[in-house]
Structure 1
């Protein structure tokens, strides 16, 4: 077998991708605004970087002479840093978040900003001295007023930018300053700004030139006024038809879901696998509470998912990554056993803003692990010290006692762990922890969060914190479905059940392929479900497992059978018995290649 035949998939996909990058370069050269519709795994970031490189090579002298810059707007600060690292120091391309870019564009118009924030009640701060405003600034994203300065909230910057775009003189100066604007993940961009760009620049064919990179079907965030799809006859649409992430079988499924953007898999040597696992063989009672009607009982769901993921890991190559996607953090927390903790601290768990959780995660657990493993370097790192913390026999005894205390306390309450650490006198205690402990000792009924006192909070089983810490690790086995956008794994278990009334895949997924018509007035609900379903299906590199924990309608069963093939659909019990025998030989063969 020749090398070219071995790499047939990759060669076809790469040829297609190169053609797309040439089309992007042509659009940049011609000065027309364009939109790159880049499906999952298609190499959008590579094309964006190639566009920036083209600007660097072809426009640097012109922009420098005219004191101009191209801007590459991306979604996160981390993405800004990645793009910045790939550009030379004097690049005419400026990577910015939308907030940073908007502020950079408007901050010099102080008279307008001062007048607007003082006359419009929408910008009135909730805190501060409420004195006369002489200056407007944007620093930390908190809205308040102090010493004649009004500081803006994050979204205030975007709204003020939109207001200035209504001014013709501002638009002319804006276009002179920024002749080219590249926007990454366009579908997640602030909708009102994109609408202004289309109305004032793209539709009239006026400068600046715009290049949008993204995927309308990956619009999954509902609360940030994301623009989603952009439609304009004045935008040249360039579709990327390659997939450098997923094996051919996964890509065929994606093409079945989305025939208007067909992809070619670049993966050679592994065909891939799509499997459906139902729970039709469960005969016990099911849940009937709000948003969970028909769902398996929590302990059954936990047991069955653990069995499935354990079986998969045991029958694939050791180095392969496996991720289970669950619809909401609440469902995931129930599955993993930290639902009471989540109920108390809410988003502070996901955002790592709770002082006790962070102390346990960054100090207590690493210290305990280091003591159990006699890992001196790990102990130094956890304590943040550079000198050896065990200098004499009495020190060794005290650290040994702390390990024994933690071994016991970790199986009890959070307060027992805190007391063990504080009582040892060996671990530095953060001032905020000391403050809360003082309040706890004075009055344990002191409110800690909106729904619980400090006594109730520290009375939680410590293993809830351990489970939450596991969720926060980058290599965690479970994740929320919204939390994996942009991620990829060898194997994905897509858990389809109940838990959030905004998402009912069993109802809406069959509408994707037209098996069920979209009801009148349900287009937005359909697109919301379709997009998240697509994102989840497009995460795996090798294998996709649909784990359906609710009863299947005839339409949903038919839909899944069409996607996976009826021969790849199992009940839970059949999957445990039959899948390993059918798969292990192929797994070994493909692993060798």
Structure 2
């Protein structure tokens, strides 16, 4: 990419400014990284020694085969040391970011019991579980500090507005929780559950407690004794405080276990990840680096290298035998209420350019990456159920991962029954038998007339399925059948919402979670069932859409990246600023001067992640207030040539 003058603020967002502000890059901080190839894997293998452990940071850019190196190193270690690990009752620990990544790594390692693969939340809970007295005292101190902070905010509040009421409700809740602490003998937590009840810990508390506890005995000794090797995948996105705790634990016991960090600072996309991770790596660690991109074609590697030059000095090389590939940018005027037919037209244009028929094979022929889930909801037609549920903040985690009980009713119970009804009667009744409380063996034993019960279940099943004959029923109609027949068990709040009836009113002005949840369900009930089916496909990863953040680690032959700040409606990212259409804000410039993260740096990393998903061809769609300006800035920066950018 052409060099850009640092004093030119608008041009600097595309150019080599962040590395200059930092004053040093990964190479200068850590020494010369090891080149990609057998040496990187060999160095990791030498580090994974039970007798002479050496900690390391594997610097692995997009598509460099990081997971392959991790699996290979662990496979070789457990082959060499199986008898010793088994005799000592120890396990290699691998921590990664998502459940899907855990499952993939465990599968590649053949689910070997000598290796425990878990998310950071699951690992943290496993470390602190059972230390009930320590947990209780930590909560007592933390909750008391929170109450002092909330009292201070309430004292400064000028009126009893929504924020004040929420703060008051939070303070009262924390006060009740402190009062009940001594009554709790054992604390509980589920990495994937709702964690309701006085004894339940939330996700944030588990991470914070693990960060506090693993730096000191006895938990430090327990962790080191259990795990001679701890490998943290996607280390740049691991909670910063927790990663600091791991680094301090390693520094205090350098000869007792190997801490291996794997990742790429350019792919840090979550705000609680550790900033400037490269500067925290001890000087005596090994620093292997994988520089070959084994995923992307040459043209995409050139583009992501150009994007990256504004952040650090790390560059990748493509595989020698890779294809040239295709990159195009399409700039369009941002229009209020814009429909999405333009994206279909762009897909057909990519067909003409690449002669790849899959670009025009409907949305399923490509993976379209959007910044926010609500952008997918508009394109896939489930906005009517997504928006009200997302508005209730405490429902968001369960909404986005599909574990919300009301969603599980539809995803795991109703939809499989409907799918089975299209196969044959045997499959249908088997699907009902596995899900209906009426056919639970305990219930059936208590029923005097089992034949009548089976007839009742059959009639209920017919009533449910008949709703969908050439029809797209409202969700409220489906729920009413379940209430009338008791065919399936309903979440209590959904039943309450059904009794209250469908509404389109705004949410109530209250901090009461139950009231907000019930209101969201009242809106959901008025939506057609097809929206729920569409959302089911999206949460299962079966849709042609995904978020910029959600595809890290994944790859697709054809990728369309949507850059649309106005539709996304967020403030953490700004493609308009990154592309030079808008100048950096005063806050951005202040953060840059102080060496802190800012919207431009975050957006650059996100664009790097999305563009590096493409295996064959890449289309970048820019919705901008000034598409011509965006085009020229990208050309001036050397990211793309004039022939590669079209105004649509």
TM-score tier by shorter-chain length is 0.7 to 0.9
Residue 490 of structure 1 deviates from its aligned partner by 1.1
Kept in 2: contact 1:414–1:460 (CA 8 A) = yes
Aligned to 2:577: 507
Distance 1:96 1:227, change over 3 A: farther
* Per-residue deviation, residues 193-244 of structure 1 (Å, max 9, x unmatched): 221333453488554321111122222122x455663422233221111222
Kept in 2: contact 1:125–1:145 (CA 8 A) = no
Aligned to 1:431: 490
Q: How does 1:169-568 map to 2 (within 5 A)?
A: 171=220, 174-202=223-251, 205=254, 207-222=256-271, 224-226=272-274, 229-231=277-279, 232=281, 233-259=283-309, 260-266=313-319, 268=321, 270-279=323-332, 295-298=334-337, 300-309=338-347, 315-316=357-358, 321-346=365-390, 347=396, 348-353=398-403, 357-362=407-412, 379=428, 383=432, 405-407=467-469, 409-410=471-472, 413-416=474-477, 418=479, 428-432=487-491, 436=494, 440-441=498-499, 449-450=516-517, 452=519, 455-498=522-565, 499=568, 500-509=570-579, 519-522=589-592, 523-525=596-598, 526-552=600-626, 556-561=630-635, 562-568=638-644
For 1:483, what is the secondary structure of its paired residue? coil
Residue 273 of structure 1 deviates from its aligned partner by 0.8
Separation of aligned partners in 2, 1:102 and 1:397: 48
Output the TM-score relative to the length of structure 2. 0.68
Separation of aligned partners in 2, 1:202 and 1:380: 59
Kept in 1: contact 2:327–2:617 (CA 8 A) = yes
Aligned to 2:645: 569
Separation of aligned partners in 2, 1:400 and 1:90: 45
Distance 1:312 1:406, change over 3 A: farther
Distance 1:205 1:269, change over 3 A: closer
Residue 276 of structure 1 deviates from its aligned partner by 0.9
Residue 144 of structure 1 deviates from its aligned partner by 7.6
Kept in 2: contact 1:114–1:136 (CA 8 A) = no
Kept in 1: contact 2:297–2:318 (CA 8 A) = yes
Aligned to 2:124: 102
* Per-residue deviation, residues 341-390 of structure 1 (Å, max 9, x unmatched): 2221113543324556544545555666666x666576456545699xxx
* Per-residue deviation, residues 310-366 of structure 1 (Å, max 9, x unmatched): 665782386984111111122332333333322211135433245565445455556
Kept in 2: contact 1:273–1:543 (CA 8 A) = yes
Q: How does 1:27-38 map to 2 (within 5 A)?
A: 27-29=47-49, 31-38=53-60
Distance 1:345 1:16, change over 3 A: same
Residue 448 of structure 1 deviates from its aligned partner by 6.7
Output the TM-score relative to the length of structure 1. 0.74
Separation of aligned partners in 1, 2:498 and 2:112: 55
Separation of aligned partners in 2, 1:358 and 1:519: 45
* Per-residue deviation, residues 98-150 of structure 1 (Å, max 9, x unmatched): 3443344445655544544445536968559826357444443677887xxx5
Kept in 2: contact 1:506–1:553 (CA 8 A) = no
Residue 33 of structure 1 deviates from its aligned partner by 1.5
Kept in 2: contact 1:509–1:533 (CA 8 A) = no
Separation of aligned partners in 2, 1:321 and 1:153: 40
Q: How does 1:12-27 map to 2 (within 5 A)?
A: 16-27=36-47
Unaligned runs of 5+ in 2: 1-34, 147-173, 391-395, 440-456, 509-513
Does 1 or 2 have the higher relative contact order (CA < 8 Å, sep 6+)?
2
Separation of aligned partners in 2, 1:276 and 1:382: 47
For 1:564, what is the secondary structure of its paired residue? coil
* Per-residue deviation, residues 163-192 of structure 1 (Å, max 9, x unmatched): 334536764565455433221111122211
Comparing 397-406 with 269-278, greater Cα deviation is found at 397-406
Residue 552 of structure 1 deviates from its aligned partner by 3.7
For 1:217, what is the secondary structure of its paired residue? helix
